Amino acid sequence: MKIGIEAQRIFRSNKHGMDYVVLQEIKELQQTDRANEYFVFVAPGPDRCLESTDNVHVVEIGGGFYPLWEQWSLPRAVRSTGVELLHCTSNTAPLHCDVPLVLTLHDIIFMEPRDKHNRSLYQNMGWLYRRLVVPRILPRCRRIITVSRFEQQNIVSRLGIEPQRMAMIYNGYNEWFRPTVDTQQIYKRYMNDRGYIFFLGNTDPKKNTERTLIAYSRYLERSGVKRPLLMADLDREYLNGIISRNGIGNIVPYINIPGYIPNADLPYVYNAAFCFLYTSLRESFGIPLLEGMACGVPVITSNTSSMPEIGGDEAILIDPTDADAIAAELLRLEADSQYYAQKRKVGLERAAIFSWKSTARQLLDLYNSLNT
């Protein structure tokens, strides 16, 4: 087959979850599948992280902002390349396309009420675009892929999709996320010393940043160690608003917010951390959860949505709405070395179940099943 894969954002510098997923899937298919021919449709960008090979052709197309690119430029490129199947990988797809569609629907958060406190224009526009487009394209999709049993059940029940049209394929994680010795001390780009608490938070309310910072304040009040907190993807103004609203000025001397941390640095950042906080209110999968466990750092995560499914029964699972519960687990890890070692071991064993090779193998099986 000639298979088209939409990977619009993979050339941008500041990649996020869905960008990494499709990039790793393509790289694995590039290495393992010699029977099919792939055309990868991307937008121009500075990070040329994927090169064409004999069986994988990178097709760079312009077209302006995302809706115009997806609804106008992408279908034209599909026609010109003669692909027989188009896999759209980031929740949406063209409303009018001449070939059968496969859609990766990572989540249906766009069908849930929008948090009124979210002032991000980018996030709100994305929410509206998905809400308008996705219900119209689902009937045209030959298969709908999602990334956890939780999200599969959610999609089937909320959108009335026939279960036989669904496919559940877990994500993986990159092999460089593992226990490692940081000979170059890369972590020092972000923190002076090892043993900090690490948290990936941003302005999206589902990331639970505000409540996690309240929990950190309560941890500091009770801890004799008072470990500093490294927070990625957060700006100072947003942080100051949280501190002011909640009267948690005691956290100010202990927080470092360096902004975006490149993926290449993250393994060293995880390895140097005392523990990793992944306290989201909702995730369809949660790749950082795997990355932290694979690096051998205990992860405190939520007992909601897909996180118990990915983290496993022995993960440190807390109610993400309970700041005291988050603080209590931080203190327990600090006080109980046996508990700390056991949770580190559990995480390493759990992460070993997942891989991008397995993801790509299942994806290839799905493509081949549609070659009729």
For the segment 157-188, what is each residue's pLDDT rounded down to a tens digit?
A: 999 999 999 999 999 999 999 999 999 999 99
If asked whether residues 103 and 150 sit together in one domain, one would say: yes
If asked whether residues 145 and 29 sit together in one domain, one would say: yes
> What residue numbers bound the domain in which 117 lies?
2-172+355-369
Is residue 179 domain-resident?
no
Residue 150: predicted pLDDT: 97
If asked whether residues 236 and 302 sit together in one domain, one would say: yes
Highest-scoring range by mean pLDDT, 57-66, 107-116, 300-309: 300-309
Is the pLDDT at 56 greater than 80? The verdict is: yes
6-46: pLDDT as tens digits = 999 999 988 888 999 999 999 999 999 999 999 999 999 99
Residue 177: predicted pLDDT: 97
If asked whether residues 294 and 361 sit together in one domain, one would say: no
Mean pLDDT computed over 59-82: 92
Residue 115: predicted pLDDT: 60
- At residue 202 the predicted structure's pLDDT band, cuts being 50, 70 and 90, is confident
The single residue listed with the structure tokens 């993979």 is 10
If asked whether residues 137 and 97 sit together in one domain, one would say: yes
Task: Give the number of domains in the chain.
Answer: 2
If asked whether residues 20 and 168 sit together in one domain, one would say: yes
User: What value does the mean pLDDT of the chain take?
Assistant: 94
Contact criterion met (CB below 8 Å) for 100 and 142: yes
Residue 332: predicted pLDDT: 98
If asked whether residues 202 and 158 sit together in one domain, one would say: no
- At residue 121 the predicted structure's pLDDT band, cuts being 50, 70 and 90, is low
d(CA 232, CA 230): 7
- At residue 125 the predicted structure's pLDDT band, cuts being 50, 70 and 90, is confident
Residue 136: predicted pLDDT: 94
Which candidate, 138, 129, 140, places its Cα nearest to that of 158?
Answer: 138
Which candidate, 148, 169, 178, 176, places its Cα nearest to that of 310?
Answer: 148
Tokens, residue 176: 């460089």
Contact criterion met (CB below 8 Å) for 213 and 251: yes
Residue 336 exposure: Cα atoms within 13 Å on the Cβ side: 13
Question: Which residues does 122 contact at the CB level (< 8 Å), separation at least 6?
Answer: none
If asked whether residues 203 and 218 sit together in one domain, one would say: yes
* Residue with the larger pLDDT of the pair 115 and 53: 53
Is residue 181 domain-resident?
no
Is residue 63 domain-resident?
yes
Is residue 177 domain-resident?
no
If asked whether residues 363 and 331 sit together in one domain, one would say: no
Poorest-pLDDT segment among 8-17, 265-274, 300-309, 325-334: 8-17
Is residue 346 domain-resident?
yes
Mean pLDDT computed over 130-148: 95
If asked whether residues 111 and 196 sit together in one domain, one would say: no
Is the pLDDT at 120 greater than 70? The verdict is: no
- At residue 151 the predicted structure's pLDDT band, cuts being 50, 70 and 90, is very high
Is the pLDDT at 263 greater than 60? The verdict is: yes
- At residue 204 the predicted structure's pLDDT band, cuts being 50, 70 and 90, is confident
If asked whether residues 359 and 339 sit together in one domain, one would say: no
CATH number at residue 203: 3.40.50.2000
Give the torsion sign (CA, 297, 301, 306, 309). Answer: positive
Is the pLDDT at 124 greater than 90? The verdict is: no
Please classify residue 322 by burial: count the beta carbons closer than 10 Å to its beta carbon, then call 0-12 exposed, 13-18 middle and 19+ buried.
middle
Q: DSSP secondary structure string, 271-303? A: HHEEEEEE--S--SS-HHHHHHHHTT--EEEES
Poorest-pLDDT segment among 198-202, 250-254, 288-292: 198-202
Mean pLDDT computed over 86-106: 96
If asked whether residues 325 and 241 sit together in one domain, one would say: yes
Is the pLDDT at 101 greater than 70? The verdict is: yes
Return phi, psi of residue 314, to 5°: -95, 10
